[in-house]
Amino acid sequence: MLKSIAYTHHKVRYSFQDPFKQSLPRGSESEPGKLSFRQKNTWDIYAMEKGREQLNAEWEKFRHFFKREEIPTKTVLLKEGQISERMFYIEKGCIRLSFNKDGKDITFQFFFEGEGVSSAESFRNDEPSLFSIETIEPCILHILHKKDHETMIESSPLIKQELEKQTFQRLMYYQKLFLSRIKNSPEERYKELLEQSPHILQRVPQHYIASFLGITSVSLSRIRNRK
Partner DNA sequence: GTAAAGCGATAACAATTGTTAAGAAATGCT
Partner DNA sequence: AGCATTTCTTAACAATTGTTATCGCTTTAC
Residue ranges binding DNA (CB under 7 A): 1, 185-187, 205-207, 214-225
Out of 70, 73, 99, 105, name the contact with a copy of itself by CB under 8 A.
99
170 is a contact residue toward a copy of itself (CB under 8 A): yes
Give the one entry of DNA, a copy of itself, none that residue 207 binds, where binding means its C-beta sits below a cut-off of 5 to 8 angstroms depending on kind: DNA
96, interface contact from a copy of itself, DNA, none, CB < 5-8 Å by kind: none
Pick between residue 8 and residue 225 the one whose CB is nearest to DNA.
Answer: 225
Question: Considering only CA atoms, which of 73, 78, 77, 97 is closest in space to residue 25?
Answer: 97
Q: Which does 54 bind (CB under 5 to 8 A by kind): DNA, a copy of itself, none?
A: none
Distances (CA, A) of 193 to 30, 120, 151, 199, 213: 6, 26, 39, 9, 10
**HSE (CB half, 13 Å, CA atoms) of 112?**
13
Q: Which is nearer to a copy of itself, 37 or 178 (CB)?
A: 178
If you ran DSSP here, which 8-state letter would residue 18 be given? -
Q: Note whether 54 binds a copy of itself by CB under 8 A.
A: no
The answer to whether the Cα torsion of 123, 125, 126, 129 is positive or negative is: negative
